[in-house]
Amino acid sequence: MECLKRGLAAALTFFVLAHGAAHAAFPDHPITLIVPYAAGGPMDRLARQLAAKLIPQLGQPIVILNRGGAGGNIGAVSAKHAAPDGYTLFLDHIHMATAPSLERKLDFNPLEDFTPLGIFVESPLVLIARPGIPADNKDDFLRWLASQAQVSMANAGTGSASFLCGSLLQSGLKKHITMVPYRGTGPAMIDLLSGQVDLMCDLTANAIPQIQAGKVKAIAVTVPQPLVGTALADTPAMQDFGIPIAPLTVWYGLYAPAKAPDPVVRKISEALQAVVQDPDFQKEQADAGLKVIKDERLTPEGHRDFLEAEIKRWGSVIQEPGT
């Protein structure tokens, strides 16, 4: 019996040491990064820039796998079912916080099926108006808004960032706004430029060229701090209009499947934190209208806490009558 006990103890010790050694060696072969949208789009661009900076940090190639469809859900389900060994990662944005409230039957749970690794970039939005609106400042806009029996607002589809922005605006103003969904921001912008709709929210990078060309009017940004160094540096925040809303940004985070080992999580997290300190990466994101994140959201723990809070936040907004 004593011999059997010693044998079992030795086997257990070997397993623990081998298990730890495997984690210590991570990664020893290529990593796959799943992107839940088509190649060539903004998230695909971000994924490739991120991968290029992670490769020297992790010492292995990173293969981008585009699994688009169903508003990002197909890619999420694919990542959910991958082995939780760190060799499959998943990139997504605010969709992870809105999907639970938008989908009647969601085939993944953002908090239970994934290990958050860090939120690393974000982009504010800007509320813009068609050129004919007499609103050259905050007071003009509020007067115009109060005088209108009906106001229309374009968005890129239910659950999009522009949809969320419009929902917050309507709730904060306590005024009914007719929401007009489109299949993407491109068609929505076309109708705004032609005066078919009155208002729209868009990512700052998309809207700034139209603002600079005088084709649309910038009304308010969705973050309280001035966007220094951009064409929106003097644009007021929505909060300055007396609209009681929290800041709104489109944020992007990195995930592994649930139950990824702690040593692997730490190694990827450290690599991600090194990437956001890279001046070239910072410039790439600034050129695209994105800002790197260096606060607690960049950590796995902070990412999880923020995601949980965002799921609750957008659940209450999306389920509010009239949104």
* Domain chopping of the chain, boundaries: 31-122+250-319, 124-241
Judge contact between 313 and 167, C-beta under 8 A: no
pLDDT at 23: 54
Q: Which of 264, 274, 267, 272 is nearest to 303 (CA)?
A: 272
The correct CATH number of 124-241 out of 2.60.40.2550, 3.40.190.10, 3.20.20.70, 3.40.350.10 is 3.40.190.10
Q: State the Cα–Cα distance between residues 277 and 235, nearest whole angstrom.
A: 28
Q: Are strands 62-66 and 31-35 parallel, antiparallel or unpaired?
A: parallel
Burial class (CB in 10 A: 0-12, 13-18, 19+), 279: exposed
Sign of CA dihedral 67, 69, 72, 77: negative
Q: What secondary structure does DSSP assign to 231-287, as a single string?
A: TTTTPPBGGGGT------EEEEEEEEETT--HHHHHHHHHHHHHHHT-HHHHHHHHH
Residue 251 · residue 293 · CB < 8 Å:
yes
Q: What is the pLDDT of residue 288?
A: 85
* pLDDT recorded at residue 109: 98
pLDDT at 320: 61
- What interhelical angle do 42-58 and 279-287 show, nearest 10? 180
Could you state, in chain order, the average pLDDT of each consecutive group of 10 residues for the chain (323 residues)? 51 46 79 94 94 98 95 95 98 95 92 98 95 90 93 90 89 88 90 96 91 94 84 88 81 98 98 98 90 96 97 83 48
User: Pairing between strand 199-203 and 114-129?
Assistant: antiparallel
* CA torsion, ordered 132, 203, 104, 77, to nearest 10 deg: 150
Q: List Cα–Cα distances, 266 to 76, 270, 291, in angstroms.
A: 22, 6, 23
Q: Which helix (H) or strand (E) holds 64?
A: strand 62-66
CA–CA separation, 254 vs 245, rounded Å? 26
**Distance separating alpha carbons of residues 296 and 251, to the nearest angstrom:** 14
The tokens describing 304, both together, are 């999880």
What are 176-212's pLDDT values in tens digits?
Answer: 899 999 988 889 999 999 999 999 999 998 899 999 9
**The model's pTM:** 0.84
- Domains 31-122+250-319 and 124-241 belong to one CATH topology: yes
Dihedral angle sign, alpha carbons of residues 173, 221, 310, 315: positive
Please give the class, per CATH, of domain 31-122+250-319: alpha beta
Cα separation, 242 vs 230, in Å, equals: 24
